């Protein structure tokens, strides 16, 4: 068991991460503008027949005034284009990432497990074809150590802010993971 001076030093390390960018620190710009072919692909995959996503004539009669992107596609537009070769070797990461993750502090302290716990979206406006979206992600909070059913760990929340070409916020996502020390089986 660490003594309290060690605990304080570790908490200070965690506090230093609050506000730190996740990823490169530069905005992730969508490789393509919001577009109907990708919307149609999404709507087909989820069998979502909402006509405001794919029916131009119908969408024009609604309060949206035209085709809009499904609101939960927000997260997909700015994701990096996958590099298939090497994806296994990268542990499933879709692209090679440069530098170390800010969360390596937790890995180094034995909290090597990762479990997604919550995903929350605030939608300011629905996106339209042609919108070019970019996003930035920062760590919003890191909890004190908690005992959970899968082991001791810290809940880490990051917030991604999505903006349009004019810089107006179109939505936010909060994503919470548990970084945990896998319980020892003895």
Q: Which of left, alpha, beta for 99 (phi over 0: left; psi -120 to 50: alpha)?
A: left
Q: How far is the CB of 128 from another protein (least distance, A)?
A: 13
DSSP H helices in 20-150: 36-45, 51-54, 56-60, 74-77, 104-108
**Nearer to another protein (CB atom), residue 72 or residue 138:** 72
Among 27, 121, 145, 148, which residue interacts with another protein (rule: CB under 8 A)?
A: 121
Of the candidate residues 19, 58, 97, 108, the single one contacting another protein (CB under 8 A): 58
Residue closer to another protein by CB (options 54, 136) is 54
Q: Are strands 151-163 and 134-142 parallel, antiparallel or unpaired?
A: antiparallel
What are the tokens at 37? 């072919």
* Residue span binding another protein (CB under 8 A) among the ranges 4-12, 16-24, 115-123, 133-141: 115-123
Binding mask 74-93 for another protein (x = CB under 8 A): -xx--x--x-x--xx---x-
Q: Which of residues 144-183 bind another protein (CB under 8 A)?
A: none
Task: Confirm or reject binding of residue 118 to another protein (CB under 8 A).
Answer: yes
Half-sphere exposure of 132 (CA within 13 A, CB side): 8
Which residues have C-beta within 8 Å of that of residue 176, sequence separation ≥ 6? 116, 117, 118, 119, 155, 156, 157
DSSP label at 73? G
Q: 25 or 94, CB closer to another protein?
A: 94
Contacts to another protein by CB under 8 A: 41-42, 44-52, 58, 62-63, 70-73, 75-76, 79, 82, 84, 87-88, 92, 94, 116-123, 126
């Amino acid at each position: 068991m660490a003594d309290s001076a060690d605990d304080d030093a570790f908490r200070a390390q965690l506090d230093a991460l609050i506000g730190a960018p996740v990823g490169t620190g530069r905005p992730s710009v969508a490789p393509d503008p919001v577009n109907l072919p990708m919307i149609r692909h999404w709507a087909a995959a989820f069998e979502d027949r909402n006509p405001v996503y794919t029916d131009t004539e119908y969408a024009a009669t609604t309060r949206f005034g035209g085709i809009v992107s499904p609101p939960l596609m927000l997260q997909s537009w700015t994701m990096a284009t996958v590099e298939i070769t090497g994806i296994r070797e990268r542990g499933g990461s879709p692209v090679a990432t440069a530098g170390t993750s800010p969360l390596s502090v937790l890995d180094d302290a034995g909290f090597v497990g990762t479990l997604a716990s919550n995903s929350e979206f605030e939608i300011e406006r629905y996106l339209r074809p042609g919108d070019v979206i970019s996003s930035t992600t920062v760590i919003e909070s890191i909890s004190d150590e908690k005992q959970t059913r899968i082991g001791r760990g810290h809940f880490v929340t990051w917030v991604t802010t999505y903006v349009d070409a004019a810089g107006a916020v179109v939505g936010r996502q909060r994503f919470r993971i548990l970084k945990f020390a896998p319980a020892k089986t003895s």
